[in-house]
Amino acid sequence: MEEEILKIKKEAVQQITAATAAELESLHIKFLGRKSLLAQLTARLRELPPAQKPLIGRLINETKRTIEQMLEEKSGALAKAEGEEFDLTLPALPQACGSLHPLTLVAEEIEEVFKNLGFVVAEGDEIEDEDHNFSALNIPLEHPSRDMFDTFYLEEGLHKKETQGRLLLRSHTSPAQIRVMRNLRPPLAVLVPGRVYRPDAVDATHSFMFHQIEGFAVDRDLRFSDLKGVLINFARKLFTAETQLRFRPSFFPFTEPSAEVDISCIICKGKGCTVCKGNGWLEVLGCGMIHPRVLQACGIDSKKWQGYAFGMGVERIAMLKFGIDDIRLFYNNHKKFLEQFNAF
Ligand code: DAH
């Protein structure tokens, strides 16, 4: 009998160890139930000589207790393992979360200011032809910006049938004015953000690729004062409500009259500091009334319609806004730099 009991115990140990939660109940019945081998052995106790009864009886009881304990422990262990996998009350694992690039943040903020005035956002083409990038914008053949050293021209042979002149990487977003005005009729108010390319040597303030935002509107009776109004609104929304603007007469072939716009230095409030190089003003954009020749190049009657336009560098605005002193920081993907914009 002793041997039989030990065999049962051994079997129970093996089966309980390997059991799944669903099998525990039937193992309980198998080893401890009324028809179990141990129950049968208990019934046979009376057949034993009186001297053996207490010993075997105790062995049976001990074995029962051991099996019972093992079943309980196993059931506890299985419940715990399951709980670890499915405990919905535990806090979620932290996710490594990216954030918007500072240039995206600034571009979106600028877009928002103009969208609120009714501007729509459009995209131009990064590969342009000489007509859109220069000629239609009233930039003459002899203009220095058309020089090989100031524009990336694409290889000969890449000309498509519909292109006029050589293909190039656009050197400003202004060609988008031509694309939009040749396709849509005024009144128009459009904003065009995007990449532009110039063969400049890379340093703290120059890059061969950077971002611009072009804005323009065409309507009846548009005046320079309308342009001033939207730009003052823009600067005060993007920087501070106290920001002052200065319009300096300037020249661009595609606008007449033209101006360059400075804002009062956001660091020293116009007193003079290292950022504004002591003069209290920071140059932020170029603008003007769209030249009648540009309207005409797009089939718009310049007697009936007037337009204004402006163009700004996104990197320049972002550097001023965030106090960044090296343009290269925008492009080298250093996590330490980018992480600082998580909160914006
Ligand atoms: N396209 C000019 C540049 O890249 C910027 C500019 C100046 C855009 C005046 C305009 C404008 O629309 O009116 O330097």
**In terms of domains, do 69 and 123 share one?**
no
pLDDT at 40: 87
Last residue of a domain, one of 55, 84, 113: 84
Q: What is the dihedral of CA 280, 285, 291, 295, to 10 degrees?
A: -160
Ligand 1 centroid to Cα of residue 135, in Å, is 15
Ligand 1 centroid to Cα of residue 286, in Å, is 5
pLDDT at 96: 76
pLDDT at 160: 60
Kindly report which listed range (38-42, 200-204, 215-219) carries the lowest average pLDDT score.
Answer: 38-42
**In terms of domains, do 231 and 259 share one?**
yes
243 domain-assigned: yes
36 domain-assigned: yes
CB 208 within 8 A of CB 197: yes
Residue nearest to atom 7 of ligand 1 (CA): 286
Percentage above 90 pLDDT, the chain: 62
Question: pLDDT per residue over 216-256, tens digit each?
Answer: 999 999 999 999 999 999 999 999 999 999 999 999 999 99
**In terms of domains, do 175 and 304 share one?**
yes
Q: What are phi and psi of 41, to 5 degrees?
A: -65, -40
pTM of the model: 0.73
**In terms of domains, do 125 and 65 share one?**
no
Question: pLDDT per residue over 130-162, tens digit each?
Answer: 999 999 999 998 898 888 889 999 987 666 666
Q: Choose one of 310, 314, 315, 317 to mutate for the ligand 1 pocket test, by most ligand atoms within 8 angstroms of C-beta.
A: 310
pLDDT at 83: 65
**In terms of domains, do 144 and 72 share one?**
no
Tally of domains in the chain = 2
Ligand 1 centroid to Cα of residue 251, in Å, is 10
pLDDT at 161: 61
How far CA 181 is from CA of 219, 228, 285, 294, 316, in Å, comes to 12, 22, 22, 9, 27
Kindly report which listed range (22-36, 168-182, 237-251, 279-293) carries the lowest average pLDDT score.
Answer: 22-36
**In terms of domains, do 80 and 127 share one?**
no
CB atoms within 10 A of CB 40: 11
Contacts of 140 (CB under 8 A, 6+ apart): 253
Closest CA to 152 of 196, 195, 197, 203: 197
pLDDT at 344: 65
**In terms of domains, do 115 and 175 share one?**
yes
Tokens of 76: 């506890």
pLDDT at 85: 67
**In terms of domains, do 172 and 268 share one?**
yes
CB 291 within 8 A of CB 256: yes
Q: Which residue has the tokens 């230095």?
A: 265
Question: pLDDT per residue over 45-97, tens digit each?
Answer: 888 888 888 888 888 889 999 889 988 888 888 888 776 667 788 888 888 77
Q: Choose one of 230, 234, 254, 314 to mutate for the ligand 1 pocket test, by most ligand atoms within 8 angstroms of C-beta.
A: 254
pLDDT at 82: 73
Atom of ligand 1 nearest to the CA of 288: 13
91 domain-assigned: no
Q: Choose one of 128, 133, 173, 174 to mutate for the ligand 1 pocket test, by most ligand atoms within 8 angstroms of C-beta.
A: 174
| Confidence category of residue 41, pLDDT binned at 50, 70, 90 | confident
**In terms of domains, do 148 and 255 share one?**
yes
Ligand 1 centroid to Cα of residue 227, in Å, is 14
**In terms of domains, do 57 and 118 share one?**
no
259 domain-assigned: yes
Last residue of a domain, one of 84, 110, 135: 84
109 domain-assigned: yes
Identify the residue with better confidence: 302 or 272: 302
**In terms of domains, do 310 and 248 share one?**
yes
Alpha carbons 308 and 110: distance in angstroms, whole number: 17
Looking at residues 330-336, what average pLDDT do you find? 95
93 domain-assigned: no
pLDDT at 77: 85
Residues with CB under 6 A from ligand 1: 172, 174, 214, 252, 255, 286-288, 309-311
Domain that holds residue 40: 2-84
**In terms of domains, do 214 and 178 share one?**
yes
CB atoms within 10 A of CB 287: 26
Ligand 1 centroid to Cα of residue 146, in Å, is 15
Q: What are phi and psi of 33, to 5 degrees?
A: -70, 175
Ligand 1 centroid to Cα of residue 203, in Å, is 22
254 domain-assigned: yes
